[in-house]
Structure 1
Amino acid sequence: MLGQLIRFGLVGGLATLVHMLVGISLIGAGMAALFANLAAFLVAFGVSFIGHYGFSFPQKTASLSSAFKRFILVAIGGFLINESLLALYLWLALGPEVPGLILSTGSAAVVTFFVSRNWAFRAR
């Protein structure tokens, strides 16, 4: 499982880098930030799914179609967990924003890993 967790982190890091590069490039080209962020999320989602399907969980038994549909739900759920925890952290004024972002993102990543491993990429 440690190897899977490391591969998951590598793919997640790559997807995050792609997200940032696409978003920054689109904003630099004049696109509104919210639209650029959405476009960047969609590109990064593709990188994330392909990486997790082929690299993080290579022993999966779920079909490509099934894993894709499930991973969409996992990605949306991970985003909602991240955003909710960050909002709660900020609302409670528990500290500076950056540690809150790290905490919320890390928490969402742990949940996303286990749901991906045990549901999204596993056969029924």
Structure 2
Amino acid sequence: MRSLLWFGAVGASAAAVHFGVVVLAVKLLDLAPLLANVLGFMLAFCVSFVGHHRLSFAAQQASGRQALPRFALVALLGFASNELMYAVLLGLGVEYRLALFLVLLAVAAMTWLLSRHWAFKRRAA
């Protein structure tokens, strides 16, 4: 249960970074939302990996060297899903902030499962 609470806190922090970067990049840099989403993902990835490695899945404690490439794959899969769903929702005319919020929630469950059961799980010796 503690792991799930940390996952929520870290995930919310990473999502807030992702969301904030997208909104700022669209408003201040006049980037297209899909391009701003890439920038938001890259910054949120750093928050997410460090937080999940040190807090959410610390009890499983795979080494950073072991967990980083696995989590990167999970994150890239999540981002690919994110970008595809985001493009579809934007294409349907959903406002970009609402679309991003919905997509970030949808990807969280997949990330939790893959992170808990694979990315941060210590390899048997």
**TM-score, length-normalised on structure 2?**
0.73
Q: Is the 8 A contact 1:53 1:60 kept in 2?
A: no
Q: Is the 8 A contact 2:81 2:107 kept in 1?
A: yes
| Aligned residue type for 2:74 | V
CA distance, structure 2, for counterparts of residue 22 and residue 86 of structure 1: 16
Distance 1:86 1:25 in 2: 17
Name the count of aligned residue pairs. Answer: 119
* Counterpart Cα distance in 2 of 1:45 and 1:105: 13
**Do structure 1's residue 30 and structure 2's residue 23 form an aligned pair?**
no
Q: Which runs of 5+ in 1 are unaligned?
A: none
Aligned 8 A contact 2:53 2:61 in 1? no
Please give the per-residue CA displacement for 1:49-71, whole angstroms capped at 9, x wherever unaligned: 11100111111231112111000
The answer on 1:54 being equivalent to 2:54 is yes
Whole-angstrom distance in 2 between the partners of 1:29 and 1:23: 10
Structure 2 distance, partners of 1:39, 1:88, is: 19
Indicate whether 1:5 and 2:4 are aligned: yes
The one-letter amino acid of 1:79's match is F
Comparing 67-76 with 34-43, greater Cα deviation is found at: 34-43
Deviation at 1:86, TM superposition (A): 7.4
TM-score normalised by length of structure 1: 0.74
Aligned counterparts of 2:46 and 2:39: Cα–Cα separation in 1: 11
Other structure's SS at 1:49 match:
helix
Counterpart AA for 1:42 = M
- Determine the C-alpha separation between the residues in 1 that align with 2:18 and 2:85: 21
Deviations 1:67-105 (A, max 9, x none): 11000111122234456677899xxx9xx9969x74x65
**Counterpart for residue 108 of structure 2:** 109
